[in-house]
Structure 1
Amino acid sequence: MQNSEFAKLFYEISELLELKNENPFKIRAYQKAARNVEDLSKNLTEIYKSDGLKGLEEIPGIGKNIAEHIEEIIKTGKLKKYESLKKEFPRGLIELTNIPGMGPKTAIKLRKELGIDSVKKLEAAAKAGKINNAANILRGIDLKKRSRGRYLIDDAASHAELIVNELKKIKGIKKILPCGSLRRGQETVGDLDILVVSENPGPVMDAFTRLPYVKNILAKGKTKSSVILKNGMQADLRVVPEKSFGAAAHYFTGCRAHNIHIRQLAQKKGWKVSEYGIFKGKKQIGGETEEDLFEKFGLQYIPPELREMRGEFEAAAKDQIPKLVELKDIKGDLHMHTKATDGANTIAEMAEAAKKLGYEYILITDHTKSTRVAHGLTGKEMLGHLGKIKSIKGIKVLAGVEVDILKDGSLDYPDEILKQFDLVVASIHSNFKMPKEQMTARVIRAFQNKYVNIFSHPTGRLINEREPYQIDLEEILKAAKKYNVAIEVNAHPKRLDLTDIWCKRAKELGVKVVVSTDAHSTDQLQLMKYGILTARRGWLEKKNVLNCLSHDKLLKSLHAK
């Protein structure tokens, strides 16, 4: 069982407890456990097997009770408490709580007043105008429909890694590569495509279809197999000879439009291109490597993240594909939380974890007083916290704050407090349903404050869970340029906000960008790689990302207001 599955179960328990109107502290305990577990770098089952209950209890946010839940799930595949809670409510009612805009209290109210106990009945009532906020509810239902069968990139990546690690144990496998939308770094993934080079495909097919993560076998052939994993995701395996590896890697990575275009280029030359190679008649003339394939067409190599038919062929023909930013270029993380608010670790623990990642600096950015759900700090409390931040030795720990942008565009702290921080990150955490013009003006007013340096998670979206709030990003980017505010690419897999398309637009406008994790635990610092994938999909280079700069150059750039 994967960490994401444990997290999903704990989230569902918290929702069921809310339906029961249980103790809020108990509800938050399950929510916190879910958050900490879903981005944990080590598998819970592995932790339990090596260190038992004690090892589980050492995980931030996991107490004795939840550790015992994990143990029960590992041993039996079920959790009695969860099964018991589910029996107390109709299945449809539980599904209602997963619709954006539908909390447990609303679900219970609608059931009592209108007999609504399913998404189908909810949609009918909303369309008939029988419920408040009908438009928002319908948007939430539509979001769930559109996201069905799409998995967050970190979930897809973890399952791909499991498969790859198992297949690597088989003798005779020369190369193995996850392809498809995962390799392109798309924010959600529909299915997994695994490419293998082997002269003996039989044992590879046998091993793949017998993996412990497989629920059903859809097809099993000599060189192709498809399965459904236990999390519901489809995984496809393809074995090719080494001489075809480059062509196959390209074919199974690019989006449909990208692949059609490369075939059209081949036709103009009298060639054929497929997953088996480039052919002139029956003779293979290329395709052993991807570099070879692009070279045959007179094109500069196109990185996987850019194979989306968004101008990559035109750029490659002119040798104008940029050297994209890489994870190794990042010198620091500029958005993270500690135990002072809603984080799981201390300042010192976050600093030590960042040091192990090779970072030069980090920015601690705990919440301000208006974000009550995250235990935001009053001005007086924050100033005390600031002193603790500055006392940390070793890696450079910058004193920052994630200050709320209030409804009118003013900030949650006065300038007298804000001026004491090294950097100020401003964010929207409330009043998401404002009209576009008002939301845009709200943010631009915040940019005009001379102490605001970074605007984080610019659209407020949660992928597959919450739509972006209405905001004019074109105007926001222009204002960011004018007032020297950097725009964040939030690396958390649920956010990836700014999106790839708007990253490219920010680059075109000369807007400064930072890639940060918004980490709430030491493990979440490792999510930076997903933000980098998004930045690469947006054609960003090292020079476009401020936290590729040294500490001194970073501060000089952001303080030039």
Structure 2
Amino acid sequence: MENAEVVAMLGEIADLLELTNENPFKVRAYRRAAQVVDTLPVPISELVHKGELGSLPGVGVHTAERIAQFVESGTCDVLERLRGKVPPGVMELLRIESVGPKTAALVWKELGLTSVDALEEAALSGRLATLPRMGAKRAEAIVSAVARHRSRQGRVPLHRALPYAEDLVARLRAIPGVKQAIAAGSLRRHKETVGDLDLLVSSTDPERVVSAFPKLPGVTTLLAQGPTKSTARLSVGLQVDLRVLPPESFGAALHYFTGSKAHNIALRTRALHRGLKVSEYGVFDAKGRRIAGEREEDVFRAVGLPWIPPELREGLGELEAAEAGRLPTLIEEEDLRGDLHVHSEASADASSSLLELASAARGFGRSYLAITDHSRSRPLGLDEERLREHLDTIRWMDRELRGRPHLLAGIEVDILPDGSLDLGAEVLSELDCVVASVHSRFNMSSEEMTERMVRALRSGLVHVLGHPSGRLIGSRDPYPYDLERVLEVAREEGVALEVNAHPERLDLTDSACQRAKAAGVKLVISSDSHNAQHLDDLRHGVWVARRGWLEAGDVLNTLSLSELRRHFRRSRRVSPSTWTGEGPGLAP
């Protein structure tokens, strides 16, 4: 929890430095420090108290001082000084897609714009288009981005909310008399964003729990309080609703407050048809007698259904599937044997060595890891010569590791605007795993983007289509493309689609996973790690896959390495012996 707050503080300092035109080396230093803290496996306060901040790579003496100040007091002198230079509304502009620090500084200093409303008005009136490097088309895009920003307000990405929920639940469980404590709501269903936190506690002493809650670390504002419930706001702005239930009602309350609304309505309607009433307090018969409620499983059993996993509770046919015995056996994180999209320090935006990645993967129980660094179109990406050198290193390291884990030689190759691949067929055909992704020209029409992706899939070289929609949760909407057409071609070519588990991507979405499964297209769940600690992000991809009704058999990296290699060989239609240097989807 505290690490996330330090990361936010360092990021804010970097943004403020850029807005005030400070030394760009300082900006990069704070952003680099934020990346390091974001991947720490321990609370940063431990390093502060031991005086070990200086041992972190990329964290200099001055940055370490700011971090220590923040951990001890909740702020630091540099942050407060910079905040005094920039109107608060200017920082809000940075939350608008395509408005970075340079653009925000430009509109603030040239037009005096210090709020999202003012930015929108300037774009609509034409004033924005008069600025350098702006123009009418850019102004129109900003108007659309403002509308998307407003639609997302009040929602927090799952990975940001989760540490706060886990910390509070752990502290609630430590209160004497508490039997159970769990986070319900959209967080338990693993929705990609959450509006607030719903915490449920089972206890015979609700007064003790309710009185202790406002005193927990991170709780700053008490909004409402009653005998068995409390509502508060955390220091980071998240609202938390606490409810304390007697043990005999806890299962019913857990079901009720997990939701979703559509699922709850469907289950209550089913209960009514059976002469029963379901509420947060239990399941009651026609005479008002409680017949279930202590366990969630009993609530489902009372209406003639097996327990339904929380991820499926969206009112999308899960009750009918449960009644017919057709609920899927959802994939579990333990089913994944490897990770097929991982960046090493050979990528300019990544920081871990092959040995560090292998050691972390071993700790997470992975048996294979595909090293897929960026190709040459990305900043400092690999051209053919450097890629071949890198492949020699990967294969040497694979031999040294002796299968603990196996390292696969791969690449994340760019799909260029015309649909060709960023590297030639000769080198791509030598690789164990080719992930092809779009990283540029997101403003193409749906037809253009679809044909761009289709041409890449037709190359006969691609094993996996990476983060297919290009979205970044909360900051960049997916680019338009025809998913059904892409799925059709992917099935024909034997190309898998990626469920990118990076917490800010989660791409494919759950609904797209369902459509891929229905179309007979295999998927992979990959971490897109840029640091060894990011390998743990696979769980976020598993949650998306579960919401998409996926089973282990739908996901390729549940296969053993030998099975995966056989599958990839079958899907590849180009090999070095047949390469001619020409053909669809090949870079010139």
Give TM class, smaller chain. over 0.9
1:117 corresponds, among 114, 119, 129, to 114
| Equivalences for residues 26-425 of structure 1 within 5 A | 26-49=26-49, 51-52=50-51, 54=52, 56-130=53-127, 131=129, 132=135, 133-280=138-285, 281-341=287-347, 342-372=349-379, 375-392=380-397, 393=401, 394-425=404-435
Matches for 1:440-479 after TM superposition, within 5 Å? 440-479=450-489
Unaligned regions of 5+ residues in structure 1, if any?
none
Supply the distance in 1 between the matched residues of 2:243 and 2:102 (Cα, whole angstroms): 48
SS at match of 1:194: strand
1:223, 1:240 within 8 Å by CA — same for their partners in 2?
yes
* Structure 2 residues without counterparts, runs of 5 or longer: 130-134, 572-588
Which residue pairs with 1:553 in the alignment? 563
Match of 1:504 among 492, 514, 523: 514
Instruction: Report the alpha carbon displacement of residue 329 of structure 1 after superposing the two structures with TM.
Output: 0.6
Change (3 A) 1:256 1:398: same
Q: Report the AA paired with residue 493 of structure 1.
A: P
2:16 corresponds in structure 1 to: 16
Deviation at 1:180, TM superposition (A): 0.5
Q: Deviations over 1:428-470 (max 9, x none)?
A: 1111111111111111111112221111111111111111111
Deviation, structure 1 residue 208 = 1.3
Instruction: Give % identity.
Output: 47
Partner of 1:491: 501
The alpha carbon displacement at 1:246 in A equals: 1.5
SS state of the match for residue 341, structure 2? coil
Distance 1:307 1:39, change over 3 A: farther
CA contact 2:375–2:423 (8 Å) conserved in 1? yes
Question: Aligned pair in 2 of structure 1 residues 472, 61: CA closer, same or farther (>3 Å)?
Answer: farther
The residue matched to 2:258 in structure 1 has which SS? coil
Q: Give the Cα–Cα distance (whole angstroms) in 1 for the partners of residues 23 and 339 of structure 2.
A: 36
Contact 2:274-2:303 at 8 Å conserved across structures: no
Q: Which amino acid in 1 is paired with 2:37? A: V
Q: For 2:6, give the aligned amino acid.
A: F
Measured against aligned partners, the alpha-carbon deviations of 1:69-94 in whole angstroms (never above 9, x if no partner) come to 21121123212222222233333333
C-alpha distance in 1, partners of 2:469/2:512?
A: 11
- How far apart are residue 308 of structure 1 and its match? 0.5
Q: What are the superposed Cα offsets for residues 466-509 of structure 1, whole Å, 9 maximum, x if unpaired?
A: 11111111211222111111111111111110000001111111
Q: Could you tell me whether the CA contact under 8 Å between 1:40 and 1:524 is conserved in 2?
A: no
Q: Secondary structure at the match of 2:492?
A: helix
What are the Cα deviations for residues 47-77 of structure 1, in whole angstroms up to 9, with x where unaligned? 323x32x2x3444543433222211211232
Distance 1:2 1:369, change over 3 A: same
- Asked whether the equivalents of residues 440 and 471 of structure 1 are also in contact (C-alpha less than 8 Å), the reply is yes
Letter paired with 2:384: G
Task: Give distance in 1, aligned partners of 2:18 and 2:175.
Answer: 48
RMSD of Structure 2 on Structure 1 (CA): 1.6
Q: Where does residue 7 of structure 1 map in the other structure?
A: 7
State the SS of the aligned residue for 1:222.
Answer: coil
CA distance 1:334–1:188, shift in 2 (3 Å): same
**Partner of 1:420: helix, strand, or coil?**
coil
Which of the residues 497, 522, 531 maps onto 1:521?
531
Decide whether the 8 Å contact of 2:6 with 2:71 is kept in 1.
no
Q: Distance in 2 between matches of 1:416 and 1:30?
A: 41
Provide closer, same or farther for how the CA distance between residues 478 and 23 of structure 1 changes in structure 2, counting only shifts above 3 A. Answer: farther
The offset of 1:171, in angstroms, is 1.8
CA distance in 2, matches of 1:171, 1:45: 27
Shift of 1:39: 4.5
For residues 74 and 112 of structure 1, the distance between their equivalents in structure 2, rounded to whole angstroms, comes to 33
Structure 2 distance, partners of 1:340, 1:61, is 17
When normalised by structure 1's length, the TM-score is: 0.96
TM-score normalised by structure 2 residue count: 0.91
Call closer, same or farther: CA 1:340–1:144 in 2, change over 3 Å: same
Q: Which moved more, 1:432-441 or 1:28-37?
A: 28-37
Query: How far off is 1:361 after superposition?
Result: 0.6
